[in-house]
Structure 1
Amino acid sequence: MKHYFYLLFLLLGISGFAQKTEKIEIPIDTTVTTEHSVNINGNNIDYTATTGMQPLWNDDREPIASLFYTYYQKKGVKNTENRPLVISFNGGPGSASVWMHIAYTGPRVLKIDDEGFPVQPYGIKENPHSILDVADIVYVNPVNTGYSRPIPDKEGKVDKEKFFGVNADIKYLAEWLNTFVTRKNRWLSPKYLIGESYGTTRVSGLALELQNSQWMYLNGVVLVSPTEIGIKREGPVEVANRLPYFTAAAWYHDALPKELQEKELEDLLPEVENYAINELLPVLVKGGFTETEQKEEIAEKMAFYSGLSEEVILQNNLAVPIRNFWKELLRDENGYTVGRLDSRYLGLDSREAGENPDYNAELTSWLHSFTPAINYYLREKLNFKTDLKYNMFGPVHPWDRSGNNTGADLRQAMAQNPNLDVMIQSGYFDGATTYFNAKYTMWQLDPSGKMKDRLSFKGYQSGHMMYLRSADLKKANEDLREFILTTIPKEGEPAKY
């Protein structure tokens, strides 16, 4: 029988007012397993769901953190050597592993409408598109996210530098994954990392850290709505790269000229991408030395493709701040703002004037539906009982962002491992990590171009969490399923160039 270990941790108030001290039990090393079934693509899949807390140790084998995870494993698989394992992270940094867990790849998803908006009563339903039919999945919550917590030393202190930074995060998670893979007997399994948003920074760095420090080789890395992963794009490139996203968001809100609105989005965007690269970027490079007539011509074309006025574009010297776009696009039409992470969502500010929206309309909508769903699901359906607060967003700041070479690390991991492929998934209406920046990341990832056949991009008519839209939940999982099945080498095929 599994042994259970607990730590009594004093949770102290941090305000200037005296607060009552409360004792909270943090499970250090424990598991709870339940049995379920789900119908995926017409086939019934029986599986186990294991929730637990697994410790992270220091060099003296003392626990310094306890990480919460949820592990789904298909029943009836005699040999796991051919059964892929997908290791899933969300982002933030500081975000729980909740979004992809109960809205994308897992066997249960939250109840929302077909476009991703919250509905009541809240709850969970079967996910008929989950990848559990082809792979087992573990959702990992880094320190201070979900139920994961650091463990103070004997003096009651926590060494935050061990957890809260680009490279610290990668290093300790690689150690934790070594323990997990060993405990679950998954060393022989094909392995995949999937990360969303900042999670793409995390998994890009983990790809090399796992290879070089844990000697654990992967078959694939999936970047969902990727960050810059250390690949710079300041100045004219940053400005030019915004335009295709402006077009997509304006198209969704019917804010483009009729001749553009009549086009399918996937037919329109390549036209705008070509303009941004081959016409807009060279002009932006000249900055203030651009001839007035040429600047006016560019402003006219940018207005044509963005739904903004020429006046606003010229007032910003052709470089409209992206936050200003969220405020400006519908200002004169109905006064609504558009969402940052998903520009299909509308916000309502206290006044129509101003440069930036008052709040992120999409994030408040998501927290509306995700928070009750995950708290109910883990406790009542997966039987994980604790009085710890489930941190949708946990305290992880200040976050050390220095030394972010994760894109270069991912390229190096691919170079060292001929079996490692990368797929990028992005929503066209994502204004935080735009789809065209994701393409730019893919283009810049391997400057030699010798590995471009191992890099692929998939786009969706949705936002940052493209899977919230019902049609894209199906399509994105199909793309992920195909990526997994096609990147497992044939039996006996050597890993070599």
Structure 2
Amino acid sequence: MKKVFLSLYCLLVSIVSFSQEEKIETKWVPRDPQKFESVHSGTFNGQKITFKSIVGETFLKNSKGEVTGALWSTSYIRDGVDSSRRPVMFIFNGGPGSASVWLHMGFFGPKVVKIDSEAKEDDGAAPYRLVENNQALLDLTDLVFIDPIGTGFSQIEGVGKTADFWGLNEDAASIAQFMRIWVTQNGRWQAPKFMAGESFGTTRAAKVAEVLEGGGQNMALNGIILISQALDYAGSSSWADNLTSFFTYLPSQAVTAWYHGKAGQGKTLEGFAQEAREFAYGNYLKSLFLGEKQTQAEKEVIAEKLAYFTGLEKNYILHSDNQILMHRFKKELLRAEGKAIGTLDGRFLALETDKSAEGPVLGDPSDYMAESAYTAVFNDYLMRDLKVKMDRPYFSSASGMGGSWNWKPVPDGAYYEPSYVSTARSLSEVMHRNTQIKVMVANGYYDLITPFFDAEFTFARHDFPQDRIQMTYYEAGHMMYNRQEDFDALAKDVREFLEGILK
């Protein structure tokens, strides 16, 4: 009995203690932001350049001036030049929930990782290749890589909570706040300013450009680079009953089938892509909207043409009601060989453990055949080159963000009917208010998540000023810079885009 009483007493004490602990509010203690600086040199575009790297945190605050988060960034700043009008480019990846490691180590950074350019070999295990990036833009502009809250080392601080940052509007507001702080601290209000984003990072870029025009600190941008754009999700969401997606994905399916030798043999890549565009805008678009108003014979004519473009069996296409979902296409194209193709890059393929499944079961080979190299190389680069010493890990992707993200484009409490996410109109309106800003859109032919045809469809609408939109194309996927030929081509195109604005 004594033992039972003692146990109950201990339990009661622990409950009371826990309740008391719950009531204690942890007050944020003011401190200086952490910062790691180092000096480097390299040759970029034939110029020998000395530059400083600064890996550090910036405190974000709410309207009351209370700290809510510590956002980390990596800045590369050229030494020995007048910085007041020195261009600066802000760079981020997508997700949402991705750190900037991919564009940092894949393309824009002074050093980059190299994986198999032809997408045939897995990245394997360490060690991996890290090389000097002589095509980096440090001769033209300083570079600032941003890790949104929850990614990299960036985290909630003070009175902040995830809801303050994990949402379409909230994310854009935090990035815009960081950019204004960085520009102010570095004396760059008179400097040309650029943004570069990839995937959801392009969704973000459009929204950030809009946010920067308000808040009492209007900051106009000179240019935006959209890599694998995702401004209007109707065209990049391959879901049943989303007719737009069957239209926008068809040319990507066609060129991917061409790449794997299943369609368009004897045609050029560009020629077959154009043929697919014309069919999509013509008979296929009409067929999608006619639906059951078509006769069986009319459906069979469309199925025959879809088989020609996609390399899939006509009967399979008919059973799919002439609407091929992308996850099924990735499995069906090489099903006879027991292989599935990649999402980010349709050139990648892998042997599957379940050959009868509807879609890929191992995940995206264009992701898992490259991710280990990026992660290992960047962590080593942080410690050895950038002299960063932290007691917590660098997260290349945010844990738990997906299910907590607020996609609503309107404030809480405002009436809203669910729809596909779109920031296309935001960017179009920015371009009409800022008549100097130009936009470059980089597209991978084998990108099976943000299709190139969707980029064309998006920028053909929303009243975009066509003379300030530049479209470029590459023979790889979402991260086209993983292919060396496309790395070189993209570097040339980005440089010419910037030079055209800065001249």
Tell me the TM-score range normalised by the shorter chain: 0.7 to 0.9
Aligned length: 453
Deviation at 1:412, TM superposition (A): 1.0
- Code of the residue aligned with 2:474 in structure 1: it is Y
Q: Which amino acid aligns with 1:264?
A: T
Gaps of 5+ in 1: 1-24, 491-497
Matching of residue 477 in structure 1 with residue 491 in structure 2: yes
Structure-to-structure mapping, 1:290-369, within 5 angstroms = 290-332=294-336, 334-358=337-361, 359-369=363-373
TM-aligned CA deviation for residue 130 of structure 1 = 1.4
Tell whether 2:211 aligns with 1:209.
yes
Secondary structure, in 3 states, of the residue corresponding to 1:216?
Answer: coil
Q: Which moved more, 1:315-324 or 1:349-358?
A: 349-358
Task: Choose which of 239, 245, 250 in structure 2 pairs with 1:243.
Answer: 250
1:412 aligns with 2:429: yes
Of the candidates 371, 384, 390, which is equivalent to residue 388 of structure 2?
Answer: 384
> Residue type matched to 1:188 in 2?
Q
Superposed CA RMSD: 1.9
Q: Distance in 2 between matches of 1:44 and 1:307?
A: 50
How many angstroms apart in 1 are the aligned matches of 2:233 and 2:462? 10
1-structure distance, mates of 2:469, 2:42: 32
- Aligned match of 1:439: 456
In structure 2, give the amino acid aligned to 1:453: D
- Any idea what SS the aligned residue of 2:131 has? strand
In structure 1, what residue type is equivalent to 2:329? F
SS class of match (1:38): strand
Which secondary structure state, in structure 1, belongs to the residue aligned with residue 489 of structure 2? helix
CA contact (8 A) 2:93 2:198 kept: yes
2:134 equivalent to 1:128:
yes
Measured in 2, the distance between the counterparts of 1:300 and 1:76 equals 64
1:45-102 Cα distance to aligned partner (Å, 9 max, x none): 3222111111111233332111111111222222441x32110010000001110001
Q: In the alignment, which of 459, 463, 466 is matched to residue 477 of structure 2? A: 463
Letter in 2 for 1:95: S
Aligned to 1:197: 199
Q: Which amino acid aligns with 1:36?
A: H
Aligned to 1:97: 100
* Helix, strand or coil at the partner of 1:104: helix
The offset of 1:28, in angstroms, is 6.0
Kept in 2: contact 1:34–1:49 (CA 8 A): yes
Q: Does 1:287 align with 2:280?
A: no
Verify the 8 A CA contact 1:68 1:141 in the aligned structure 2. Answer: yes
Q: Which has the larger radius of gyration?
A: 2
* 8 A contact 2:42–2:50 mirrored in 1: yes
CA distance in 2, matches of 1:431, 1:291: 31
Which residue in the other structure is 1:115 paired with?
118
User: In the TM superposition, what is the alpha-carbon distance from 1:161 to its structure 2 partner?
Assistant: 1.8
Is residue 2:89 matched to residue 1:86?
yes
The structure 2 residue matched to 1:31, chosen from 29, 32, 35, is 35
Aligned residue in 2 for 1:40: 44
Which has the higher mean CA deviation after the structures are superposed, 457-466 or 128-137?
128-137
Q: Which residue is 2:418 aligned to?
A: none
Alpha-carbon distance change, 27 to 142 in structure 1, aligned in 2, over 3 angstroms: farther
* 1:132 maps to amino acid: L
Secondary structure of the residue aligned to 2:369 is helix
Amino acid at match of 1:84: P
Task: Work out whether residues 432 and 464 of structure 1, in 8 Å CA contact, stay in contact via their aligned partners in 2.
Answer: yes
Q: Distance in 2 between matches of 1:313 and 1:26?
A: 62
SS at 1:48 equivalent: strand
Q: 1:80 to 1:152 in 2, by over 3 A?
A: closer
For the 8 Å contact 1:71–1:139, the answer to whether it is kept is yes
Aligned equivalents of 2:366, 2:51: Cα separation in 1: 33
Moved over 4 A (4+): 25-28, 230-234
Is residue 230–residue 406 contact of structure 1 (8 Å, CA) maintained in 2? no
d(CA) in 1 for partners of 2:461, 2:32? 42
Matched, 1:421 2:438: yes
Percent identity over the alignment is 34
Q: Give distance in 1, aligned partners of 2:232 and 2:392.
A: 32
Q: What is aligned with 1:3?
A: none
Contact 1:70 1:140 in 2 (8 A): yes
| Offset from partner CA, 1:111-132 (integer Å, 9 cap, x none) | 3233365265224210122122
CA distance in 1, matches of 2:481, 2:31: 32
Does the C-alpha gap of structure 1 residues 338 and 231 become closer, same or farther in structure 2, counting only changes over 3 Å?
closer
One-letter identity of the residue aligned with 2:307: A
Q: CA-to-partner distance for each residue in 1:439-489, whole Å, 9 max, x for gaps?
A: 11111232xx6x11011211100111011101111111111111111123x
8 Å Cα contact 2:235/2:244 also seen in 1: no
State whether structure 2 residue 68 is matched by structure 1 residue 54.
no
Whichever residue aligns with residue 351 of structure 1, its letter is: D
Unaligned 5+ segments in structure 2 are: 1-28, 410-420
Do 2:92 and 2:197's aligned partners in 1 also have CA atoms closer than 8 Å? yes
Q: Name 2:260's counterpart in structure 1.
A: 253
Partner residue, 1:21? none
